[in-house]
Structure 1
Amino acid sequence: MDIELLYFTGCPNWTTAQEHLTEALATLGRSEQEVKLHAVETSEEAGTLHFPGSPTIHIDGHDPFPAASETFGLTCRVYSTPGGLAGAPTVKQLAQALTHTP
């Protein structure tokens, strides 16, 4: 499984996403799984990567939480969670995405 966390340093939510992802992997018994960090540094790169905002998680090249809009750039992303809108998916949402990837 290939897991990539795309982010830009101006958004504080990527570290929360990284922590949640680490915890989700541990919950699934996959603590050894590598997560590649990819810093998106320019608006041009964001457009090329179709980066909807930070943080974005790709599992085997797919975004398990597809963005509703086609806007790409160096912005903070918002996720719908059971507790309301948040800057990162919950541990449970990530664990589900990791077990239900096509």
Structure 2
Amino acid sequence: MSWEDTTMRITVLTVPDCPNAPVVEERLAQALEGREADVERIEVGDPEQATRFGMTGSPTVLIDGVDPFAVPGAPASLSCRLYRASDGRAEGAPSIASLRRALSDVDAAGDCDCPPMEAASRGDRGRLAPEAGGLRAVQQAVLRHFAATGHSPETEELDAAAAAHGRMAAEVVAALAADDFLTLDDSGRIRAAYPFSTAPTARRVRLASGIEVSAMCAIDALGIPTCSAATP
């Protein structure tokens, strides 16, 4: 089984006149190597926007709504962002090699022969989230964030994915929770998104990137693509 083919959406968040914006766009073009993708640049002019879009410095690259270079705990920021090259040098944009790795991680998730994450068991009620209203886009952004970081995203980090469909992330997250595609805690934060769990469980999965995540159950563990090992 493989995922339905979808066009990758890449968003480059920058402050106005960021000198590294054209650099990251040129590197993205080389990293994509002709692959079809929707690439757009959004200029962010105030801290509130930076928080809403999940921008932690300029430029920030989102792939399907997820920052693959996210640093846990990094605050929203309009400052210049630095990325470490393979030789340890600080650069103002991700290297072509690191962008290729990030794109390959997305491809690996999409090409995996494991059951797709969106159709995890869920008590024999597995189904794909509908395209309408941005539900599928936001759900995929949640899952990719889990896979990239090992934990759930804040609602504000999903705004870019929801905004592409003219909606607010909090509204879409609530709709996904109402239909049991994910669960929320008492404060409205994402507690689980099948097959991922924020709470530690007996089923730990190590992804190819080295990130470890908890699965809801043994069957859900099989729904996490790019896994290299799962331990009871």
For normalisation by structure 2, the TM-score amounts to: 0.40
Q: What amino acid maps onto 1:45 in structure 2?
A: Q
Superimposed CA distance per residue, residues 55-80 of structure 1 (whole angstroms, 9 cap, x where no aligned partner) = 11111111110124432121110011
- Residues 40/95 of structure 1: CA separation in 2 closer, same or farther (3 Å cut): same
1:76 alignment counterpart: 80
Which residue of 2 is the match for residue 98 of structure 1?
103
Q: Once the two structures are aligned, what percentage of the paired residues are identical?
A: 37
Distance 1:16 1:94 in 2: 12
Question: How big is each residue's C-alpha offset from its partner over 1:31-90, in whole Å with a ceiling of 9 and x where there is no partner?
Answer: x42201111111221122231011111111111101244321211100111131111111
Q: Tell me what 2:219 maps to.
A: none
User: Match for residue 13 of structure 2?
Assistant: 6
Aligned counterpart, 2:40: 36
The answer to whether the aligner puts 1:88 opposite 2:93 as a matched pair is: yes
Measured on the aligned residues, the alpha-carbon RMSD in Å equals 1.6
| Consecutive unaligned residues in structure 2, runs of 5 or more | 1-7, 110-232
Tell me how far apart the structure 1 counterparts of residues 39 and 54 of structure 2 sit (CA, whole Å).
Answer: 20
Whole-angstrom distance in 1 between the partners of 2:74 and 2:95:
23
Q: How high is the TM-score relative to the length of structure 1?
A: 0.85
The higher-RCO structure (CA 8 Å, 6+ apart) is 1
The answer as to 2:71 corresponding to 1:67 is yes
Q: 1:55 touches 1:77 (CA, 8 Å); kept in 2?
A: yes
Q: d(CA) in 1 for partners of 2:53 and 2:37?
A: 23
Counterpart of 2:200? none
Structure 1 residues without counterparts, runs of 5 or longer: none
- Structure with the largest fraction of helix: 2
